Amino acid sequence: MSAVRTQWASPGCLHSPRFSTRSVKIAVCVKFPATIKTLLLKQSFALTRLLNPPHSLSMSFSSSSCMDGSYAEIVVVRHGETEWNADGRIQGHLDVELNEAGKQQAALVADRLSKEPKISAVYSSDLKRALVTAETIAAKCGRLEVITDPDLRERNLGELQGLVFREAAKLSPKAHKAFLSHRTDQDIPGGGESLGHLFQRCTSSLQRIGNKHKGERVVVVSHGGVIRSLYKRACPNGKSGGKVLNTSVNIFHLCDEEWTIKSWGDVSHLQQTGYLESGFGGDKTSG
């Protein structure tokens, strides 16, 4: 049973989120009646929100139920910041490079990952902002070759691409309305993708990677909209994962068709560095 898919309420042994700060750690894995389990989860989440501001919330979940090494551990990282992120401009499939802050963020996450368990492979979207981030990580983690996959690209946002988000409703009202729609089959005018199409291509990509790398730890560098779709695949009935910050670390365990989230939204490598930016994207306005 997937720990994340059932984190809010499930029968049997409840693997609740494990949240941590420098001085507080909470871990729960006990059997309770459903009403008590739900209350405990609410209290645990509320405490974490109190200890960690929402924009920097880092969550740790219990590990996969496949404890025999038959799962792949996939470290999914959002690319570093771009000038368009900083300006609130919609990127989509447009190929925008990292700014100086983004390059520093990439270096910091690379240094962090180089000190953690061995990375066997590095995959990336073929867009420059993700690819350069991935190349920085690969060079630091054993001079690995980056494997690119267009299915890891950000959502194609059609007519909205290149627009400043706050001006999009005025400049392209139909596309803006389609973008805000909750319908998964709603395409965006100008060749933009539906949420359903984005979900299908990026989750299929991660599944392929997971099938290929069982028993290994790999890195995937992608985009805010993609990572939110991956969260939805692992946790279809859970609350939103919130904003995906630039170079945040999100760890998935894939055991065949079962997806589990081990940790989410970790930007501890950026704390007290001056590069913890709140760049545009990574949430419902992702692009």
Instruction: Please tell me the distance from the alpha carbon of residue 144 to that of residue 111, in angstroms, as a whole number.
Output: 14
The residue from 79, 93, 176, 223 that is catalytic is 79
Strands (E) located in the chain: 14-15, 29-30, 59-60, 72-78, 121-124, 146-148, 217-222, 249-255, 258-266
Record the tokens describing residue 165, joined without a space: 């988000």
The binding site comprises 78-85, 129
176 catalytically annotated = no
Q: Which residues contact 220 (CB under 8 A, 6 or more apart)?
A: 74, 75, 76, 77, 122, 123, 124, 152, 206, 209
Measured distance CA(261)–CA(287) in Å, rounded:
23
- Respond yes or no: is residue 79 known to be catalytic: yes
| Residue among 135, 154, 159, 193 flagged as catalytic | 154
Tokens 């910091």 correspond to what residue? 108
The neighbour count for residue 8, using CB atoms within 10 Å, is 18
Any idea which residues carry the catalytic annotation? 79, 154
